Each structure stands twice: as structure tokens, then as C-alpha cells.
Chains A and B, each alone.
Chain A
């Protein structure tokens, strides 16, 4: 419906419009308010060379992974059980809908009292920020499995275990991956939130460049976060297409 050239040219044009607007705004505002992309690019090379940014990022991501994996390990089975059992649904749903609307930021002062400001705090905050989205997405997927599919498996005398492995789990793949995609976005947000709150790691780097009015460096740090977030999204999307090519991931809504 649209020539390939146009399909490629339009996003490029969109980014060009953004960069030009930003460059003009940056030139007018000055580097203390908004560094233009031309000087951010120079800063960015410096940030990469200096190594501190990537080092801190690595540490932060490893800590985030602990919280995120714990959220997957707990959220995915919980969502699946809630989706398949009305009793589990009734027991856990009030808690899940309560926690999912609770702001992560509001929980940080509370958990500082419980856990101090160390590693456990950051892992817990990441876990709490992502687990409910993973649970709810899996829950919606598990609820949506058509009863006919299970009836067919049962009439071929599949055992409950076989039904789980051969029918329910494959039907859940796209939801598990969508849940992980939504979860990782929230995990990255929570990581930055917690680190900026207690001023440590990558968050401390951003805090420092903000205090010294070094907007070039600050924008560089933001761009790295953006790349990390887009990368994880792309990896999980690709994993979804590979694991469950029969589903179009775009149509799975949370």
C-alpha cells in the first residue's frame, strides 16, 4: 500500500523534525537549559570513553534483573492460577487491583523504613513495580483460553498435566511475553526512581549532572536509558515472534 522508500523515509523525517526543533530550541535556550543535539553527540562520545556511565548502568541493570526475574517467577504462575481458578481469582484479585494502582514512589519511604536504603530496597521496589502488571497480563491471557480447546484435549483423554503443558501453556506464551515487556518497562522506571530517590548508581549520575547544570551529559544519560528500554522491548518482542509465531503480538492488549 505504501512504497518501501516512503515507509523508511517517513520515520527518518520524523526524527529529523525532532532533532531540528531540538537544535533550534537548544541554540536559543543555551547549554544550561537545553543542550542542542550537536553538543550532546560530542558529550556522548566522551561519556562512552570515560566508562563510568556504562559501568554504573551494568551494576544497575544487574540489580534490576534480580527484582524483575523474581517478579516473573511469582507473577506469571499467580496470574495463570488466578485466570484458571475462580477461587484463586476471588482470593487474590482484591490485592492485585489494590497494589497495581499504588504508586511505586509512595512505597519508597515506607520500604526505606523496613529495609534501609541498600540493595534490598532497590530489588524490592523493582519487584513491586513490575509484578502486578505481569500477573494481570498473564491473568487476562489465562482467562481468554477458549473452553473448546480444553474440551478437545479432554475428549482425547489428555491428563490435566498434559492439558497444562500442551494447551494452556502454549496459549499463554504471547501473554507471558507481553507481560514481561510491560513488566520490564515498569522495572526500568522503578530502578531509576529508586536510584534517584536514594541517590546511588546511575540515578546518582543523573542527579549530579542535573545539579551541575550539565544538560549535555544529562541528555546523554537519558538517551542511554532510552536505548536500554527499546532494546529489551525489541528482544522480548523478537522472542515472542519466535516462540509463538501464530500470534501477532501487536494485537495482544494488556
Chain B
């Protein structure tokens, strides 16, 4: 999602500062337009919040105030740290289970045909619907939250890894075989590199789902961490605080996506990603 810098464009607009009206320049440099769009909506929101009752839609300045309050911020960051622990445990478990399992199932035609329909059927069940089960099995605390994060991300990763393992072109493996590569070498040198793009796709989709699971778990089981802050603020009709937590979760998601994309660019510089 990060737009690449365009040096030529920047040089052109830098060469004649002020020669062009800002508006038409913004229409040429698309990044300026994006920033303008964000600023415009925030300004509209600030203006609108002044005209609507305060606790319905808090003005952005109020939300910003929350982040600037050091006492609240330290509480928020403490809660975020706790939340990230369960996110890490749950998503780590997902990767540990779903990546090898996906490769094993996807590399075998028989296993794919056998378990593909089963996985699709279970995948069709909304994971939140398992919450009553998780309460019965794991209680209301950390174990249950980790289990929900796992459950919400595991099928997305599994399905993508199976698709990836099936996609590895037989001709590539055949070339390896005709050059006398052993089974192990073919796996390490041909199959695994060919799987990497799918692995990164699985990371991107799975991490978004896992973050979703993290906040869902904190609201649906015993309310803790970020979920507790949200629940308490809801009871006090403090929508600025609720919105601040929503924005934090959103930023967390954006950071995860950009970090994975950045890592993918570094590792997969040989692979051109389809748009």
C-alpha cells in the first residue's frame, strides 16, 4: 500500500515552486491528494462535531487529547502490551500449525481432495460462533483469548498455504529432478522459495484476522486490556475514548500490513507481485 516515491515528478514540481496553483499540483501528485482527502474529512468532522451533540460524535481534538494525556496513554500502552502477548501466542500457534499442515496437504493430490472440502466446510462457520465452546473448554481468560485468535486466523492461513503448495509448477520440480536434485533439495531449493509469495499473503491476511480476533476476544470473554477500556468507556458514554481505542487498533493493523509488505519487498525482490 505504500506508494513509491517518484523522483522525477517531485523534481518537476520542485523546479517551479508556486508557478502552479496548489490544487492542480495536488491533482498531479496523487499523494498530496490523499493527504488532502484525509485532512478534509478530519476538518469536516471537527466542524460537524461542533454542530452535533458532543457525546454522540466527539470532535477529533477530543480524541487527540486522549492520546496526549500521559496518564491515560501509559494505561493504554500497558493494555496494548498485554493484548499483543495473546496476539503473538495465538498467531504464532496458527503459523506453527497451519503453514506445515498447508504445505503437506497442498503437496499431495490425495490429501487435498480428501480434506479440501472438509476445511472449506469448517471455514464457512463464523469463528465468533465458537465463542460459547471456547468458554466451555478454556474458561474466560488468557487461554480462551489465545484460542480465539488462533481459530480466527488458522483457516485463512491454511487455505492460502494449500493454494500455494498446489500452485508450485510441476515443470519447475521436474527441472530439479532432471538435474538430479534429491527430494530434500527439491523441497528446499524449489518448492519453498516458490511458496514464499503465498506465505507472505497468508501473513498479511492472517495477521489482520488475528488482530481482529485479539480485540474480539477481549470484548467477548471477560473484558480485559483494550477491551476493558472500551467497555468501561461505553458505560460512561465516553465515545472519545472508545474512538481512540478503535484508532489504535486500526493503526496497529496498518503497521502490521506495512511491515509485512516491507519485509516481502526485501525478501522477495525477485518476485513481481501481481497488483
Q: A residues touching B (Cβ–Cβ < 8 Å)?
A: 2, 6-7, 10-11, 13-15, 17-18, 32-33, 86-87, 89-95, 97-110, 112-114, 140, 143-144, 185, 188-189, 191-193, 196-197, 206-207, 209-211, 213, 215, 218, 221-222, 225-226, 229-230, 233, 253
Contacts and interface: CB of A to CB of B under 8 A. Distances in A.
A215 B137 CA distance: 11
Given A189-B127, A196-B220, A197-B220, 17 more contacts: A10-B110, A11-B114, A14-B113, A14-B116, A103-B253, A105-B216, A106-B219, A106-B246, A109-B231, A109-B233, A113-B239, A143-B275, A189-B128, A193-B128, A210-B135, A226-B125, A230-B124
Nearest to A15: B118
A87 B26 CA distance: 10
Nearest to B132: A210
Contacts of A113: 55-56, 234, 237, 239, 242
Nearest to A97: B1
A213 B230 CA distance: 29
A92 B33 CA distance: 10
A233 B124 contact: yes
Contacts of A102: 246, 249-250, 253
Contact of A215 (B31, B128, B133, B249): B133
Contacts of B1: 93, 97
Nearest first, the 6 A-B pairs at minimum CB distance are A210-B132, A101-B253, A105-B216, A229-B124, A14-B114, A90-B33
B37 A89 contact: no
A125 to B, nearest CB: 12
A40 to B, nearest CB: 13
Contact of B129 (A95, A107, A222): A222
A103 B30 CA distance: 28
A109 B219 contact: yes
Interface of B: 1, 27, 30-31, 33-34, 37-38, 41, 55-57, 109-110, 113-118, 120-122, 124-133, 135-137, 208, 211-212, 214-216, 219-220, 230-231, 233-234, 237, 239, 242-243, 245-246, 249-250, 253-254, 256-257, 274-275
A21 B177 CA distance: 38
Nearest to B163: A253
B133 A188 contact: no
A126 to B, nearest CB: 12
Contact of A189 (B126, B208, B274): B126
Nearest to A253: B274
Contact of B245 (A106, A144, A210, A215): A106
A110 B118 contact: no
Contacts of B109: 2
17 contacts: A10-B114, A11-B114, A11-B116, A14-B115, A32-B136, A87-B30, A95-B41, A102-B250, A102-B253, A106-B249, A110-B242, A185-B124, A188-B126, A189-B127, A193-B126, A197-B220, A222-B125
Contacts of B136: 32-33, 210, 213, 215
A108 B128 CA distance: 14
A98 B130 CA distance: 28
Contacts of A209: 132
Nearest to B1: A97
B66 to A, nearest CB: 14
A144 B30 contact: no
B10 to A, nearest CB: 16
A15 B117 contact: yes
Given A33-B137, A106-B245, A107-B246, A192 B128 contact: yes
B44 to A, nearest CB: 12
B204 to A, nearest CB: 10
A210 B133 contact: yes
B215 A103 contact: yes
Contacts of B239: 110, 113-114
A73 to B, nearest CB: 21
Most buried by A among B124, B135, B211: B124
Most buried by B among A98, A102, A140: A102
Contacts of A99: 250
A13 to B, nearest CB: 6
Contacts of A213: 136
A110 B125 contact: no
B20 to A, nearest CB: 16
Contacts of B118: 11, 14-15, 17-18
Contact of A221 (B117, B129, B215, B220): B129
